[in-house]
Structure 1
Amino acid sequence: MKQLFLLLCLPVLVLAQSKKEQRLLKKADKIHARAYTVDTHADVPINMLEMESFDVGVKHNYNEDGTQIDFPRMKEGGMDAMFFAVYMAQGKRTPEGDAEAKQKALKIFQAIHDAVKKYPETAELVTTAKEGFVAHKKGKLGVFIGMENGWPVGHDLSNLKLYYDLGLRYITLAHSFNNDLSDSSGDPQGSEHGGVSKLGEQCIAEMNRLGIVVDVSHISDSAFYDVMRLSKAPVFASHSSCRALSDVKRNMTDDMIKLMASKGGVIQINFVADFLKKPSEEVAISIKTLRMQAMKADATPEDKKKINAELRQLKYKFPGEAPSVKTVVDHIDHVVKIAGIDHVGIGMDMDGGSDVVGCEDVSKIKNVTIELLRRGYSEKDIRKIWGENTMRVLAAAEKVAKELNTKP
């Protein structure tokens, strides 16, 4: 009799659960539409330059070409603004190498500017929090610019003003290898400068003066603490995650997150699989081998495309290891617990390694909002996570720059 009663109640329970889910989804739709959503690290310029068939103004298909970002999918997903990355792998640290890096950087800047000019009704180049909000009110996507790897700065700090005038608003001091500004967390040779170099110190001072945010993603632990000592403006980690949940050097320790937060900074959670969830030894070796191949100076666009496809296939070979949207929000939860709601944001690293089940491309970002809502985050909290915290840091950098430039 008891079993019969439970069977009769089951349809009612399912219907109630279904209605509850529908209400949650409707609420998520409204919150997501009202929030100003900002992603601090997007590698779509790589596709813009290296894929002949790629047009950022045309909708592409992740399952067909592996790309994750374009203007139509940003609109579809409700992504209001992204920091397009001026990225390049570290090359030769010589005068000739520096000159080549500068020219490559300028080419990427030009590609970003050209894309925005090609679609003026859809997107707008923005450089301040205020400009971002204004573009949003006009119904346009905001394209900010960040630089991943300070190599193109070279030894001529006047390059910072050149890049600033082109729209640059943050610099990741180093990438996967040490450069002349800073030690990297990933260089197999270990520390070279003991943190930030003397040139790096001068670079940070000039970045503060101009209003360029210092990005601590990728740099070594010692370099991070140097930045915290040196920067007069709040900093952020444009695409990093929590070392407490995935013990890899690219992630930030609790102490680092707390210190950065105490000075007004933000950690933007990275969606790269092994930064969210530490892989097994077998998968870790596969990932490291493939990434090292992609970072070789002589790797062609076709090589990189093949390597990225192989990286994506790992989640099918090892399905139990693939992180989901829930894993992303686990990292957000952790930051909120140790540092507070004002110090976490989103930096997905799409088109640069992002690989999360449920958020395969930018059109699916609302799934993050849904999961945040499921865990009890308020609309105010969600708005902070999706963009307001990042915009606060950008505005703070502007304020510090103004103060530094008005001092007698």
Structure 2
Amino acid sequence: MKKLSLIFLASAILAACSNDNDLVRKADRLHKCFLTVDTHCDTPILLVSSDYDLGERHEEACVDFPRMKEGGLDAEFFAVYLAQGPRNDDAYNIVYQKTLEIFDSIHSNVRKNFSVAELALTPDDACRLKKENKISAFIGVENGYAIGVETGRIREYYDLGARYITLCHSNNNDICDSSTDPHGPEHNGLSVFGEEVVREMNRIGMMVDVSHISDEAFYDVIRITKAPVIASHSSCRALCSSPRNLTDDMLHSLKSNGGVIQICILSSYISTPEPNPEMDARFEELTSKYGEFVKLSEDQKKSYRKEMRKIFDKYRKPATVADVLDHIDHVVQVIGVDHVGIGTDFDGGGGVEGCMTVDEMKNITIEMLRRGYSNKDIKKIWGGNIMRVMREVQELASV
């Protein structure tokens, strides 16, 4: 009897391994058949501050072209990220020059690697590059602080290749309130200037990104916009209580708008962490050591992020690919499969167990297959939905 039980156990293990191998092979085939898009990575931070070449493999970071190929990711939105700083003329001039510098670093990296990647401006570009076996490098601006108080900058950044602007980041700016500003709301949503920004983005065909903004600002955007919006890297508040995530009511508003939420795979937005006083104490020490983040030099910010990552790695158990799929499942159950995608936030804190770097992206597809998602629905989640929104936004533009 014992021998028979062992035979059954061995058979079950072999069957499971065979099934997993089948899923891997199917995921490989799917990634070759349809366009796969990640709507947010912060890798350009590395491009500006070092000789980082996207065409080379970098084990210390999350994204580069060789590992995009390995992970079956066809298109990446590279973020032109600006930390929120002072709001005066001198600061706006500095951040404007910094913005141009980041754009240039992306452009030069893509030009250097023309044999494997090109700048993409439209969904048609991405489809063409997929057929040519090339990577699509899209650009998004993270934090409307980059435009200062000049709506004309929106067109300028669009002409440089940006196809979305995240209206704010971790603090309030002149456009709107942030969901995480420690001082609370300043405008109670969008400012008057913020309303102008949304209308101008609609006019030129730039996607409005509602990640990071406050709930009140989100509803103001939905009320004002004439085009679908995106949440380029957010998750579901019903599953994780972070204010960075969208409530179910916000998801319903997003559906009515025709927009899409791109699930962020940063652990803090996927699973609610258990209380950890020791980790909190280490973060307090880090804050005391460096002071206010926005006032740090680039080298100091780099050191801060490195030390912060060490604290996370030591004290926090990361979320998993299965947890990410729980968020995708939730969106599908609440508003349907036409309104969800993936925005990793790689090199900005994103990464979960099973998908810590871009070469592991197929593990998300494998989990979708394991849960019974159809090929058609996986295609929508991996790029079809965000490309639909992008196309509609560009078609609704009046210039």
TM-score by length of 1: 0.93
Identity of aligned residues (%): 48
Cα distance in structure 1, aligned partners of 2:97 and 2:312: 36
Deviation at 1:264, TM superposition (A): 0.7
Kept in 2: contact 1:329–1:368 (CA 8 A): yes
Structure 2 CA distance, aligned partners of 1:349 and 1:217? Answer: 11
Displacement of 1:291: 8.3
What is the rounded CA distance, in whole Å, between the counterparts of 1:222 and 1:37 in structure 2? 32
Q: Say if 2:19 is the partner of 1:20.
A: yes
**Alpha-carbon separation, structure 1, partners of 2:287 and 2:212:** 14
Cα deviations by residue, 1:357-380 (Å, 9 ceiling, x for unpaired):
111110110010001110111111
Q: Is the 8 A contact 1:294 1:307 kept in 2?
A: no
Cα deviations by residue, 1:112-169 (Å, 9 ceiling, x for unpaired): 1111111111110011111111111111100111000001212221111111111111
Alpha-carbon distance between aligned partners in 2 of 1:80 and 1:142, rounded to the nearest angstrom: 6
Where do 1:100-179 residues align within 5 Å?
A: 100-179=94-173
Q: 1:341 to 1:106 in 2, by over 3 A?
A: same
Q: SS of 1:170's equivalent?
A: strand
Q: Secondary structure at the match of 1:56?
A: coil
- 2:195 is equivalent to residue 196 of structure 1: no
What is the SS of the residue equivalent to 1:332? helix
Task: Indicate the SS of the match to 2:233.
Answer: strand
Counterparts of 2:272 and 2:383, CA distance in 1: 27
Aligned position for 1:324: 320
In structure 2, runs of 5+ residues without a counterpart are none
- The total of aligned residue pairs comes to 396
CA offset at residue 279 of structure 1? 1.2
Query: Matches of 2:172 and 2:364 in 1, distance apart?
Result: 34
Residue identity in the other structure for 1:361: T
* 1:13 Cα deviation from its structure 2 partner: 2.5
Aligned partner of residue 262 in structure 2, secondary structure: strand
SS in structure 1 opposite 2:137?
Answer: strand
Partner AA of 1:27 in structure 2:
K
- CA separation of 1:7 and 1:301: change in aligned 2, threshold 3 A: same
Instruction: Indicate the SS of the match to 1:12.
Output: helix
Is the CA contact (8 Å cut-off) linking 2:344 and 2:351 kept in structure 1?
Answer: no
How far off is 1:8 after superposition? 2.9
Aligned to 1:304: 301
Relative to the length of structure 2, the TM-score reads 0.95
Structure 1 distance, partners of 2:215, 2:243, is: 8
Q: Which moved more, 1:299-308 or 1:365-374?
A: 299-308
Query: Are 2:371 and 1:371 aligned?
Result: no
What is the correspondence of 1:260-339 to structure 2 with a 5 Å cutoff? 260-282=254-276, 285=280, 296-314=293-311, 316-318=313-315, 321-339=317-335
- Residues 264-296 of structure 1: CA deviation (Å, up to 9, x unaligned): 100001111111111123277369756895971
Amino acid across the alignment from 2:53? D
What SS class does the counterpart of residue 297 from structure 1 fall into?
A: helix
Measured against aligned partners, the alpha-carbon deviations of 1:3-59 in whole angstroms (never above 9, x if no partner) come to 33212322222222222222222112111222211011111100001134x221111
- For 1:311 and 1:277, locate their aligned partners in 2 and report how far apart those are by CA, in whole Å: 19
Instruction: Let me know the Cα RMSD of the aligned residues.
Output: 1.9
Alignment of 1:253-264 (within 5 A): 253-264=247-258
* Gap runs ≥5 in structure 1: none
